Amino acid sequence: MVNFMASNIPVALTIAGSDSGGGAGIQADLRTFAFHCVHGTSALTCVTAQNTLGVSRVDALLPEAVKAQIETVVQDIGVQATKTGMLLNQDIILAVAQEVEALGLKHLVVDPVMVSRTGVPLIDDLAMAALKHVLLPKATIVTPNVYEAEIFTGLEINNLDDMQKAAEKIHALGAKVVLLKGGAMNNDLRGVDVWFDGERSEILKTTTVKTHHTHGTGCTLSAAIAANLALRKDLFSSVNLSKEYVTNALGYALEIGHGKGPVGHFFPLLSSCSSEGHLKGHL
């Protein structure tokens, strides 16, 4: 365990991939931290070539490089909360888990980036197993989407009862709290999330925003939870505040590119830009 002087300024660390299009990954996380007045630090796991239409290339960093970034930040600056995003492969996941243990990192938010909101696999079976059995048990909270929850549990999720059962099974794997996200569910369940902490199950819902510009919502939610934890909010409040933030950001999603644009992380500033016709809100 490393001893360090805690900063008077809240600090959060994101361990994730770079999105060259700026809508998700490290870029979304750092903007989310900044919105919450939390200093953002980062450890890149991979570099992607992507835009609003998709990903054309992914290059992984060496696990040793990922570990060095984490250690360098923690030993000097210290962090009050950490989130993980795209970890890409088994070796990187194992390296990150080792650092979490060795450095005694608290308030770990694990966004298990395994499957996209459309059901497309993003990592291989070995990486999925490492996430499930090695990193997830170290999580303060894990935030799977429906497809990821199906992989974790082997259940088919079609309704709210299925979501609640899956959240309970994921909790049994070791995470302190599970937030199962319903963004991929149909009809009235779209956007309904299930919280389970081992004792209570809560159904969380916010206003549904009708927009197809949703790139980066999962990254943004997990980063916001980490930011609120760094601000010493309790976990349940952090989740609800983060859902509210994402809902507002979706309301000001950016209509850029030719595909799915990103959420408007800096939405309080957008009113000053809207008069120029560059940005449009959906709320």
Place of tokens 């990903």: 55
Q: Starting at the earlier edge strand, list the strands of the sheet with 54-60.
A: 54-60, 39-51, 11-19, 81-84, 108-110, 141-142, 177-180, 193-196, 201-204
Report the distance separating Cα 46 and Cα 18, nearest Å.
6
Token representation of residue 56 = 């054309």
Residues known to be catalytic: 181, 214, 216-219
